[in-house]
Amino acid sequence: MKVRIPTPLRSYTAGRAEVEASGATVGEVLEHLDRQYPGIRFRMVDEQGRVRPHMKVFVDDEAVRDLEASVSDAHEVTIMQALSGG
Amino acid sequence: MAETRWTSTDGDVEHESPEGPMLLVGTRKGLWLVGADATRSRWSVAGPAFLGHVVHHAVVDPRDRRTLLVAARTGHLGPTVLRSTDVGRSFVEATRPPAFASGDLLGRALRAVFWLTPGHADEPGAWYAGGIPQGLFRSEDGGDTWAPVPGWNDHPRWADWAEWPEEGTPDGSMLHSVNVDPRDPRHLYLGLSGGGVFESVDGGGDWAPLNAGSVATFLPDPEPEYGHDPHCVRLHPLRPDRLYQQNHCGIYRMERTDGRWVRIGDNMPGDVGDIGFPIELHPRDPDTVWVFPMDGTDVWPRTSPDGRPAVYVTRDAGEQWRRLDRGLPERGWLTVKRQAMSVDAGDPVGVYFGTTGGEVWASRDEGGEWSCVLRHLPEVYSVEVADPTERD
């Protein structure tokens, strides 16, 4: 499925804004992303498996915080990051 | 910074790579390298690297003289360590950055790598990292992969010592000032803000508070066993049983054989006080120490007392202090954070500090005369020196 990557994480994807990844859950998709782009998952998900504050994962138009949420190839995953702060 | 380009600090004139000491300047918005010529009178700058990343600390390994580790994060991305093996010309990210154990019983997640310390000379490739919250992590391979130090992170008293889950300080509770005894790699010290100074004699397997004699005026019992707020703790490499600390509540020295902190800051001028963040030691003289006092009165502005910035030095282990302000602004409201002061190995010693206002100041005569070598940087978080011998 298509995964949209926000600008703060594109140093991992060689600048690509969209990449392909697979998995039956959001967590599996992020793990597949990490196998392709080592290190990217830990910037989004902490060592206890929690999506970091101010990071958001959307499956199509729906925000998801549970990494067990199901996805399929028909979905599009969008990773977003707040750009708050000075 | 794959193509390190050195330019003059006041323009865009290209310079040769500097032959003198190089300062690693970590800021709230990236890393800059600031290098001197052999006389330490002409400075040039390269950077930024990692623009927009919070760089809490950047340190060159004195053992191989080439490995440079950078503790970085952004506002919202998780923390990481970036590594260079060519003194900053190129970087790669650590394969396994510092993190608490997955499934940690306290549910801790590392928010920042705050402090970096190279390990003992007999343990090439060993490094320690301190975090926010106050975890301790160790690498055996030059900072590429990191593991928690369970003797500290899972110590049965850790939650009490670290005041978990409270956040004791405005930027989060941090572990800093990891000191390794040059005589024994298993003998370690560290500082917690808040929490106090702690010591291990078995390589980090077990720990004990080491705070007798220091005060914590912000607690009901001003002399508790732990709960203090050391801002920066240093061990002298040539006299490893002597420790100094700049604490939230004063400047202290300890002879480890005595086991008790002595408040040498009581000898500072009363109208300046003995509050500050950094404390720096002369590399060859265990009696010489520099501090940068700040205003710890009222609501703690943490700026230079009375707006008159100065470094203070003692040459007799804290009995007397002398003001060093020649070249510094007559009026200025400077703050220097705990990692943002450093010394080189030159003779006389070069002393350097960076301010939260984005200036880097240098003295090539042990503080006798100061000059501003770079300004208009973001808030400076750390200044560390790579001496020229570390770049051969």
Phi, psi (degrees; rounded to nearest 5) at A46: -80, 180
B392 compared with A77, residue with greater pLDDT: A77
Query: Looking at residue B187, what DSSP letter applies?
Result: -
Separation in Å, CA B271 to CA B155, B276, B301, B314: 42, 14, 15, 17
CB B325 within 8 A of CB B309: yes
B75 to A84: CB separation less than 8 angstroms, yes or no: yes
Interface check for A7 against chain B (CB to CB < 8 A): the answer is no
Which residues are CB-contacts of B10 (< 8 A; sequence separation ≥ 6)? Answer: none
**Cβ–Cβ pairs < 8 A, chains A and B:** 55
Give ∠ CA B276-B253-B207 in degrees, rounded to 5: 95
Strands A2-4 and A76-81: parallel
pLDDT of residue A54: 87
CB B188 within 8 A of CB B179: yes
Closest CA in chain A for residue B51: A8
- State the pLDDT confidence band at A85, using cuts at 50, 70 and 90: low
Examine the pLDDT at B390 and tell me if it is beyond 70: no
Distance of CA B187 to the CA centre of its chain: 19
What mean pLDDT is reported for chain A?
94
Query: Looking at residue A31, what DSSP letter applies?
Result: H
A47 to B80: CB separation less than 8 angstroms, yes or no: no
pLDDT of residue B10: 75
pLDDT of residue B226: 97
- State the pLDDT confidence band at B118, using cuts at 50, 70 and 90: very high
Give all strands of the β-sheet with B174-180 in edge-to-edge order: B174-180, B188-193, B196-200, B208-209
Both tokens of B223, joined, read 């002399």
> By C-alpha distance, which of B47, B44, B59, B57 is closest to B1?
B47
pLDDT of residue B392: 47
Separation in Å, CA B112 to CA A34, B57, B81, B94: 20, 11, 10, 14
CB B81 within 8 A of CB B94: yes
Distance between CA atoms of B310 and A3, rounded to whole angstroms?
A: 54
pLDDT digits (tens, 9 = 90+) for B356-366: 999 999 999 99
CA distance A5 to chain B (A): 13
Interface check for A55 against chain B (CB to CB < 8 A): the answer is yes
- What is the dihedral sign for C-alpha B319, B324, B330, B335? negative
Question: Which residues from chain B sit within 8 angstroms of residue A48, using beta carbons?
Answer: 100, 102-104, 107-109
Q: 């590429």: which residue's tokens?
A: B144
pLDDT of residue B5: 84
CB B261 within 8 A of CB B252: yes
pLDDT digits (tens, 9 = 90+) for B260-303: 999 999 999 999 999 999 999 999 999 999 999 999 988 889 99
In three-state secondary structure terms, A30 is helix
The full DSSP string for B333-353 is -----TBSEEE-S-SSPPEEE
What mean pLDDT is reported for chain B?
94
B2 inside domain: no
3-state SS string over B2-54?
A: CCCCCEECCCCCECCCCCCCEEEEEECCEEEEEEECCCCCCEEEEEEECCCCE
pLDDT digits (tens, 9 = 90+) for A44-81: 999 999 999 889 999 999 999 899 999 999 999 999 98
pLDDT digits (tens, 9 = 90+) for B126-182: 999 999 999 999 999 999 999 999 999 999 999 999 999 987 677 789 999 999 999
Measured between its terminal Cα atoms, the distance across chain B in Å is 19
Distance between CA atoms of B294 and B277, rounded to whole angstroms?
A: 8
Distance between CA atoms of B227 and B1, rounded to whole angstroms?
A: 41
Question: Which residues from chain A sit within 8 angstroms of residue B1, using beta carbons?
Answer: none
**What's the domain count of chain B?**
1
Q: Report the residue count for chain A.
A: 86
Closest CA in chain A for residue B379: A86
- What is the dihedral sign for C-alpha B155, B156, B160, B161? negative
CA distance B147 to chain A (A): 12
Distance of CA B78 to the CA centre of its chain: 21
> By C-alpha distance, which of B212, B221, B218 is closest to B249?
B218
pLDDT of residue B177: 98
- Rg of chain A's alpha carbons, rounded to an integer? 12
Range of the domain at B355: 7-391
B352: domain CATH number is 2.130.10.10
Picking from A48, A53, A84, the nearest residue to B107 by CB comes out as A48
Closest CA in chain A for residue B106: A48
Which residues are CB-contacts of A86 (< 8 A; sequence separation ≥ 6)? Answer: none
The domain A2-81: what is its CATH number? Answer: 3.10.20.30
pLDDT of residue B2: 43
Examine the pLDDT at B3 and tell me if it is beyond 80: no
pLDDT digits (tens, 9 = 90+) for A6-42: 999 999 999 999 999 999 999 999 999 999 999 999 9
B1 inside domain: no
pLDDT digits (tens, 9 = 90+) for B253-262: 999 999 999 9
> Quick one: which H or E segment has residue B59?
strand B54-60
- What is the dihedral sign for C-alpha B12, B15, B17, B21? negative
Both tokens of B45, joined, read 């700058």
